[in-house]
Amino acid sequence: MTDHPLSPGGSTYAILDANALLPPRLSDVLFDLRSLYLPRWTVDIEKEFLRNWAKVVKKLIGDELSAYKAASPHPADERKAEDRLNAYRNAVGDEYRLAGYGAPHIALQVPSAVNKGDIHVAQAAILMRHLLVSEGVTSDKVFLVSSNVKHLAVADMGQLGIEVISPGAFLDLLVQAAPVRLTAALDKTVSDLAKPPYTKSNLLGALTLHGARSTAAHLRKAWDVQPPRKDRQS
C-alpha cells in the first residue's frame, strides 16, 4: 500500500519532464524520494533527455556547444546518457513509461496555450489523469514537474486536474508534507554519492540552485550546515 503524503488515502503521480531528469543532483534527489510519489515519463521525454544529457552535464554553451554538435557523434557520451536513463528505469520498474499519450482523444484536451514543443509532456499528464478518472480513483493526484511551467498553461492544466509545478516547488511540497521521511532519504543521497564525495553542504547548494528553498532551509537546520557560497553543482 502506498503512503504518499501529498495524496492522503491515494497515490501521487508525477510526470517528470526531461528538464527535471537532466540535472544530475536534482534527479538524484527526485529518485531518492520516490517512496513519496510515483515517477512517470514517456519515450519522447527519454529522447529529449538523451539529446541533451551531455550539454547539461558538461555545461556546454555558445561556441563550445556549437563545436560539440559539429563533432558528432559522441558514442562515449551517448553510452553514459543511456546508462543514466537505465538507472532511472531500474529504480522505478517497468511501470515508469506512459504509452498512448498521442491518442486523438488525449490530444484534443491539450490547452491551446501550451507551447508547441511541450505538447507531448502535457499529453502525458492528461493521459495519466484520464487513466485515473476511468478507474474511478478520486484521491490520487497528478503533478507535471517541469522547469518550463510558463510554457505549460498552468491554470488551464489545473482545470484538467493536473498541477504543473517546478521541480523545486515540488520538493518543497514534499518536505512540508513529510519532513522526516525526506530528511532520511536525502541522508542516503549524500552517502550514496561517494565517488567523488558529495557533501551535505553541496546538496544544499544544489537544492537552492533549483529553487527548493524550503527544502534547503529545512535540511540546513536538520543537518546544521551551510551551503557553499558558490555552488558548482547541477
Q: Which amino acid makes up residue 115?
A: N
- CATH code for residues 12-167: 3.40.50
The model's pLDDT over 167-187, given as tens digits with 9 standing for 90+, comes to 999 999 999 999 999 999 999
| Three-class DSSP category at 16 | strand
- Give the mean model confidence (pLDDT) for residues 108-121: 97
The rounded distance, in Å, linking the Cα atoms of 125 and 91 is: 21
Comparing 104-113, 141-150, 217-226, the range with the smallest average pLDDT is 217-226
Q: How far is CA 129 from CA 15, 30, 89, 107, 144, in A?
A: 11, 21, 21, 13, 11
- Give the mean model confidence (pLDDT) for residues 26-47: 97
- Give the mean model confidence (pLDDT) for residues 137-142: 86
- Give the mean model confidence (pLDDT) for residues 142-171: 98
Confidence of residue 229 (pLDDT cuts 50, 70, 90): low
pLDDT (0 to 100) of residue 109: 97
Q: Which of 20, 5, 4, 6 is nearest to 152 (CA)?
A: 20
Angle at which helix 213-223 crosses helix 167-177, to 10 degrees, equals 50
The rounded distance, in Å, linking the Cα atoms of 187 and 62 is: 37
Confidence of residue 193 (pLDDT cuts 50, 70, 90): confident
38 secondary structure, DSSP code: E
Ramachandran angles phi, psi of 16, nearest 5°: -95, 115
The model's pLDDT over 153-162, given as tens digits with 9 standing for 90+, comes to 999 999 999 9
pLDDT (0 to 100) of residue 217: 95
Q: How far is CA 186 from CA 69, 79, 232, in A?
A: 35, 27, 19
The model's pLDDT over 53-107, given as tens digits with 9 standing for 90+, comes to 999 999 989 999 899 888 888 999 999 999 999 999 999 999 999 999 999 999 9
109: left (phi over 0), alpha (psi -120 to 50) or beta: alpha
Cell of 214: 524550503
Comparing 12-16, 54-58, 141-145, 165-169, the range with the smallest average pLDDT is 54-58
The rounded distance, in Å, linking the Cα atoms of 205 and 189 is: 14
Domain boundaries, the chain: 12-167
pLDDT (0 to 100) of residue 233: 54
First to last CA, the chain: 33
pLDDT (0 to 100) of residue 139: 81
The rounded distance, in Å, linking the Cα atoms of 56 and 133 is: 36
The rounded distance, in Å, linking the Cα atoms of 191 and 85 is: 21
The rounded distance, in Å, linking the Cα atoms of 234 and 2 is: 30
pTM, two decimal places: 0.93
pLDDT (0 to 100) of residue 87: 96
The rounded distance, in Å, linking the Cα atoms of 115 and 225 is: 40
